[in-house]
Structure 1
Amino acid sequence: LRRGEWLTLAPFGYVNNPKTRQIEPHPAKSKIVARAFEEFAKGTHTLKSMSEFLAELGVETKNRTPLAKCSIHHLLTNRACLGFVAHHGEYREGTFPPILSLATFEAVQEVLKRKAKHRKSKQRHNFPFTGLLTCGECGSAITAQWAKGHGGLYRYYRCTKKKGNCAQRYLREDLLVSQLKARLQSVALCDEWTKKMLAKVGEWEKENVHSSQTFVQNLETKRTATQEKLDKLVSAYIDGDIPKENYLKKKEELLK
Structure 2
Amino acid sequence: METADLYVRVSTDEQADKGYSQRNQEEVLVRYCNNHGITVNRVIYEDFSAKTFYRPEWSRLLGQLKEKGNKSNLVLFTKWDRFSRNAGDAYMMINTLRKLGVEPQAIEQPLDLSIPENKMMLAFYLAAPEVENDRRALNIFHGMRRGLKEGRWLWMAPFGYRNARDSFKRPIIEIEEEEAAHVKWIFENLAAANYSSEQVLLHARRRGAKLPKNKFWRIVRNPFYCGKLYVPEFNGEKGHFVKAQHQALISEDLFYRVQDALQLKKRKRRTEIVSPEEIPLRGFLKCPKCSRNLTASASKGRNQYYHYYHCTSKCGVRFKAKDVNTSFRKFLSKYKPKKGMIDLFEMIFNQAFLSENKIDLSEKRKLKTAIEKLEQKISKTRDLYIDEKLDIEDYRVVKRRCEEEIERLEAKGTKIESIITQDIPEKVKKALGMAERLDLFFDTADLGIKRKIIGSIFPENIVFDGKQHRTARVNEFFRAIYKINSMIACKKISPKSKNSTLDRVVDPLGLEPRLF
Report if TM-score (shorter chain) is over 0.5.
no
Instruction: Specify which structure has the bigger relative contact order, considering alpha-carbon pairs within 8 angstroms and separated by 6 or more residues.
Output: 1
TM-score normalised by structure 1 residue count: 0.40
Rg larger for: 2
TM-score (norm 2): 0.22
